């Protein structure tokens, strides 16, 4: 009989065969269950089946297999304690020195869009968490291994006889963290499927909200050098999220880079036609759609070329050579680019031609509707604000032309473009646009009239015949009068002001057309 024993029962079998072979080479006897046992046997590893050890078969389709005194006694037993040693001997229990367990893929299962409740319930692990917690509690005598990422280090320490109690305590801490995350995912799911239909005054996320995020990267600093910062991601972030974006080139990402990349991708993803967004401080200083990605970027950059220096670029199509050449033109400096991909030629151009080639961060991300409308969180002192993310497709059924003049076909196209851009601009938001191009944006001002002044100043003479979008209603006609001075011909806004009649009258006086959308897009 081997002097050391390991219990192995896992769902994720990544790297398991190599790890367990290493245990066997160090003199371990392996006990295992069900699919894990078959996996190890197929790999040529000698395994004792748990049911042979307990002398009790797996029952109920494997629901009951490790919940047995000889298993938990072997995990929880303290051989150095006389009373435990007596019980171990009396009941034929053979202690485990290593327990290798990871849990049923509950989080991955509920992330599937078509999962049924019975399918989800069946992925709630019972025996696994029990073994993990037992081994973690008894870490003075047992090493609990819960993640494939731990295999190499654990095996190295076993080989060098340095699997000491301090290290086992670290493994135990990770184990308790794993079961806490797992239990919270189950609790959140159960709360979701049992919640009463929410009314306007009831929380959509239950009475208790617990969130779990994993560290992805420690950042150099936050928004400013004196602030610490890190990037944490959800357990199963949508494939379309910045959390899943792959960095293909450039310096490490900063806090501000990540904020702006998220904004750049969100705006570019609004459009089906080739689109480009130029972001500074989470606001678009340029945005455009065109027949080619190169033209879309050129027009977006031309929206505000001064502000575009040191910007973040969002593109919604694979970057081709023509677009890469435009990006690299002299005098342009780009911090980062996010796109669905880069052609081989474009990648070569972007990483060899411009002066900033070694620094530019090239991010590759998935563009689709997955994950839209998900909860959005914002910390305030002492609490957390939660809301649905405002990124779902824009409904047009409630749109209403409220002026005497109807929009022309081109005006309607531009109004739709401006409305999509507007909801990504900080409030109070005013957007001037024309021919699928952002001409000027007024963002984050305390007065909507001030935002109108800024948008008109940025647009200049280009705004003649253009359109204006406002994220909330015009409270007075002055915003309309200012737009008319700039040559704006069409307006889109939510409506709902007590002075809507005056605003409509102003549009009619100026010969402008206006649409009420009945939906506001504040962004703070």
Positions marked active-site: 137, 281
Is the distance from CB of 484 to CB of 463 less than 8 angstroms? no
CA max distance for the chain = 98
Tokens of 141: 């005598």
Distance CA 437, CA 225 (A): 35
3-state secondary structure 188-218: HHHHHHHCCCCCCCCCCCCCCCCCCEEEEEE
Give the CA radius of gyration of the chain: 30
Cβ neighbors of 470 (< 8 A, separation 6 or more) are 422, 428, 429, 430, 431, 448, 479, 491, 492, 493, 494
For residue 334, CA distances in Å to 217, 266, 301, 313, 337 come to 22, 18, 11, 7, 8
If one counts every other C-beta atom within 10 angstroms of the C-beta of residue 379, the result is 8
Is the distance from CB of 442 to CB of 428 less than 8 angstroms? yes
70 backbone dihedrals φ, ψ, rounded to 5°: -75, -25
> Residue 279: in which H helix or E strand, if any?
strand 275-280
- Residue recorded with tokens 């839209």: 372
Strands 98-101 and 143-145: parallel
Name the packing angle between helices 478-485 and 500-510 (round to 10°): 20
If one counts every other C-beta atom within 10 angstroms of the C-beta of residue 384, the result is 10
DSSP 395: P
249 strand-pairing partners:
362
E strands present in 220-271? 229-234, 246-249
b/e map of 152-176 (b: 16 or more CB within 10 Å)?
eebbebbeeeebeeeebeebbebbb
Distance CA 298, CA 287 (A): 10
Distance CA 395, CA 406 (A): 19
If one counts every other C-beta atom within 10 angstroms of the C-beta of residue 194, the result is 8
């Amino acid at each position: 009989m081997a002097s050391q024993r390991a219990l192995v029962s896992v769902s994720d079998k990544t790297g398991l065969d190599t790890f367990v072979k290493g245990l066997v080479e160090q003199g371990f006897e392996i006990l295992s269950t069900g699919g894990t046992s078959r996996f190890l046997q197929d790999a040529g590893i000698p395994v004792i089946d748990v049911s042979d050890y307990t002398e009790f078969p797996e029952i109920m389709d494997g629901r009951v297999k490790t919940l047995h005194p000889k298993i938990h006694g072997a995990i929880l037993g303290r051989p150095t304690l006389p009373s435990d040693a007596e019980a171990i001997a009396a009941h034929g229990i053979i202690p485990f020195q290593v327990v290798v367990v990871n849990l049923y893929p509950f989080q991955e299962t509920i992330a599937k869009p078509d999962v049924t409740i019975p399918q989800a319930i069946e992925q709630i692990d019972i025996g696994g968490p029990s073994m993990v917690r037992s081994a973690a509690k008894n870490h003075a005598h047992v090493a609990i291994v819960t993640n494939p990422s731990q295999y190499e280090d654990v095996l190295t320490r076993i080989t060098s006889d340095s699997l000491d109690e301090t290290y086992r305590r670290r493994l135990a801490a990770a184990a308790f963290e794993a079961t806490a995350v797992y239990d919270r995912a189950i609790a959140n799911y159960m709360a979701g499927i049992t919640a009463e239909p929410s009314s306007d005054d009831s929380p959509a996320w239950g009475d208790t909200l617990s969130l779990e995020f994993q560290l992805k990267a420690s950042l150099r600093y936050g928004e400013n050098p004196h602030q610490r910062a890190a990037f944490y991601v959800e357990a199963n972030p949508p494939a379309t999220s910045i959390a899943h974006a792959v960095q293909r080139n450039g310096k490490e990402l900063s806090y501000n880079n990540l904020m702006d990349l998220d904004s750049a991708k969100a705006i570019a993803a609004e459009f089906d036609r080739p689109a480009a967004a130029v972001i500074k401080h989470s606001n678009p200083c340029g945005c455009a759609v065109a027949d080619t990605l190169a033209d879309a970027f050129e027009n977006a950059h031309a929206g505000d070329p001064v502000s575009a220096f040191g910007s973040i670029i969002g593109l919604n199509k694979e970057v081709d050579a023509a677009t890469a050449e435009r990006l690299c033109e002299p005098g342009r400096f780009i911090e980062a680019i996010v796109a669905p991909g880069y052609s081989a030629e474009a990648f070569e151009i972007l990483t060899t031609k411009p002066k900033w080639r070694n620094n530019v961060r090239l991010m590759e991300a998935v563009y689709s509707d997955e994950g839209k409308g998900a909860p959005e969180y914002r910390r305030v002192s002492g609490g957390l604000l939660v809301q649905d993310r405002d990124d779902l497709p824009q409904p047009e059924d409630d749109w209403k032309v409220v002026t005497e003049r109807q929009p022309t076909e081109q005006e309607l196209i531009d109004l739709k473009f401006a409305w999509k851009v507007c909801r990504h601009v900080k409030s109070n938001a005013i957007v001037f646009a024309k021919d699928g191009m952002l001409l000027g944006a007024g963002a984050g001002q305390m007065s909507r009239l001030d935002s109108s002044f800024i948008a008109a100043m940025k647009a200049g003479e280009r705004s003649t015949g253009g359109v204006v979008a406002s994220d909330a209603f015009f409270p007075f006609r002055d915003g309309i009068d200012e737009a008319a001075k700039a040559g704006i011909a069409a307006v889109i806004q939510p409506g709902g002001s007590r002075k809507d009649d005056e605003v409509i009258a102003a549009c009619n006086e100026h010969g402008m057309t206006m649409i009420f959308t009945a939906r506001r897009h504040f962004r703070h």
